[in-house]
Structure 1
Amino acid sequence: MTHHAQKALIAGTVSAVEALDIVADVTGEKNLTIESDVIYPYYSYQCTSVVKTMVGQKELPLVCLVDAVNGLGVTADKYEARKETCAPEKLLDVRIDVVTATDIARRTVIHRLGKQLKTIARFDVNCELKGIIYKRFWIVQAGESRFLVDSATAGWYPLQMRAA
């Protein structure tokens, strides 16, 4: 008996059928199938930084997601999460530890603030771990090609045949 776990997923707006439509629009391919879906883990942080301005201080809040498999950090818009029952074989394993992820989140936010505010000032950033959040990706077979479709953003990425 397989145990299906409840996980918090970023609410996706792209269904399997819509993922097929996205790839069909891009490739013109008619012979499409959903090969599978994968559920990808991210460390979710609520980060804040107090920035000095000419009229005092301003607190800047940011959401940061750290890829729990490869360790890439990104700032994100606020997202809605929902609990969903997930088959264990669809869940990718967490490979990055929380200490490393927290350091990546902090560096990601500092980089983002420097770019956003166009300054090289030192930022004091506080990152509070909210937990692990998951996001679904659809793997679409299109003829001899495979594509990964993000269920939250509708972004798509070509995959090498051996990578899928």
Structure 2
Amino acid sequence: MTYVEPGGSWRPFWPVAGVVGLLVVVDLLLPGRGVPSLVLALAGCALGAVLGHTLMVRRAWTVRVDAEGADAGLTVGRERVPLADVDAAHLRAVTVGTAGADAGAAVLGGGGSLPRGRAGLPLRLIDGRTVLVPTRDPAALTTALLAALRDTPDGSRGRKGTLGS
């Protein structure tokens, strides 16, 4: 099972690409001088800036939960937390509102604060630190994390070796 929440959308890119495309078409259809080269250059620069920003946001803030394989973990941008390091009891307490984040908790993915439009899902690690996971849908991320952790009633994580130990 894999849960992926993209860090950004392509929506800002398409209107700018449409305007640049319209300018190119107008330049080709107009007889004579057409659209000034400075306007085309500025439109191209704007398209490049929007493309760069969209790619950066998608790389930096995409949240991914991989539950399968030896590399099972939560990834936000370039930061990765193995699922074995997540305190599932604290995550369940967060869902009922009896637990939260420590003051000054670090934001996964880098940066000192949460990106605009995202909430911070508090996650306690087994070493006692609390981190915030930037997400647009905390309920869906919580469900994915709890399903990936597969806790059993005796407190073990439900992962066993090849010999059942």
Please report the TM-score for the alignment, with normalisation by the length of structure 1: 0.22
Q: Which has the larger helix fraction?
A: 2
Q: Which has the larger radius of gyration?
A: 2
